[in-house]
A = this chain, B = another copy of it.
Amino acid sequence: MKTGFIGLGHMGSAMAANLIKAGHEVIVFNRSAQKRRELVQLGAKEASCIADACEAQTVITMLADDSAVSAVTFARSGILESLPRDAIHISMSTISVALARKLTQAHTEVGQRVVSAPVFGRPDMAAAAKLFIVTAGDPATLAACKPLFDAIGQKTLSIGTEPAAANLVKLSGNFLSASLIEALGETLALVGKAGLDQQTVVDILTSTIFPVPAYKTYGGLIASRKFEPAAFASPLGFKDIRLTLAAAEALGVPMPLGSLLHDRFLRLLAQEGGDRLDWAALGALAGQDARLEPNSQAVPSSIHP
């Protein structure tokens, strides 16, 4: 298939590359020409403006946040103005429920089509074409996009016909991930201050009741205090918790754990350099509060007090 692709960050460039490898014809656009050129070397066609990326029957957006997606969509000569009638905007960014609705309404009004297809997975999974894709939209439209999804992900699951539903599920997943970072952070502060080796505890828990990459990855990052370079930067994590809470507020759903995460992120980002850290650094705050020292784990076989 031929498709436009807008947004060549960590995730987007890996996804575009996989589309090319799978034989699709990809017209890439990114504000930074440097990023475009890397994809061109892989076989992409380069678009010099958004309109150029909208000449195919589909255009994928994979951008950082609501404001970036709004900008490329609603700007003069943006997607809304440039996309052919009946063509499909495949919105893969993690955006708000409210913006997803606005996109749906705007595209529908001008006879274009739109689906939401946000993804789960960190950059290494994007590179391996192992993303999970959650989709929502008109079934026929989703079916038309299937070859693209197959090139990017290991599994595609649908949550109904209204595009915004997929965005809400994506936000829910990120809320669950942030929740487990906090839970692991408190756990590891506890066992660490007791003198146990944090990594050993992570190993025990993830080889028994939580044998799943999320716990292994975040547990390992917290135990080793390696938060740079960020695979998923804390400002992006904060954004997602804010979008989750915005959706919850609009629906009248109190989320006290969500509020705790919100406040933890605010604190993390207030720290010098906090915005450069992986969002797993959220899990280090419990240790800070407990004045857990790195070397307090010197005697792993004895626990205090």
A303 touches B97 (CB 8 A): yes
Residues A157 and B207 in contact in the complex (CB < 8 Å), given A191-B169, A260-B259, A266-B253? yes
Residues A257 and B182 in contact in the complex (CB < 8 Å), given A252-B291, A305-B251? yes
Question: Is A256 interfacial (CB 8 A cutoff)?
Answer: yes
Residue with the highest number of chain B CB atoms closer than 10 Å, among A155, A162, A208: A208
Question: Is A140 interfacial (CB 8 A cutoff)?
Answer: no
B253 touches A286 (CB 8 A): yes
The oligomer's copy count stands at: 4
Residues of B within 8 A of A302 (CB): 160-162
Residue with the highest number of chain B CB atoms closer than 10 Å, among A194, A292, A304: A194
Pick from B183, B193, B248, B305: contact of A190, CB below 8 A. B248
Residues of B within 8 A of A291 (CB): 252, 270-272
Instruction: Determine the interface band of chain A, counting residues with CB < 8 A from chain B.
Output: 35 or more
Residues of B within 8 A of A196 (CB): 159-160, 165, 168-169
Alpha-carbon distance A272/B293, docked complex (angstroms):
12
B251 touches A256 (CB 8 A): no
A209 touches B214 (CB 8 A): yes
Alpha-carbon distance A256/B257, docked complex (angstroms):
9
Nearest B residue to A164 via CB reads B303
Interface of A is mostly: helix
B289 touches A267 (CB 8 A): yes
Residues of B within 8 A of A168 (CB): 190-191, 194, 196, 303
A187 touches B176 (CB 8 A): yes
B257 touches A186 (CB 8 A): yes
Nearest B residue to A269 via CB reads B252
Can you sample 6 A-B contacts with CB below 8 Å? A155-B208, A161-B302, A172-B187, A176-B210, A190-B247, A257-B260
Q: Hey, which bits of chain A sit against chain B, CB under 8 A? A: 97, 120-121, 132, 134, 155, 157, 159-162, 164-165, 168-169, 172-173, 175-177, 179-180, 182-184, 186-187, 189-191, 193-194, 196, 200-201, 203-205, 207-214, 244, 247-260, 262-264, 266-267, 269-272, 286, 289-292, 300-305
For the complex with contacts A160-B302, A186-B248, A211-B212, 20 further pairs of A-B residues with Cβ separation under 8 Å are A97-B194, A134-B208, A155-B207, A157-B207, A159-B204, A160-B196, A160-B300, A161-B301, A168-B196, A173-B205, A176-B183, A182-B257, A209-B212, A253-B289, A253-B290, A254-B263, A254-B270, A254-B286, A255-B263, A257-B260
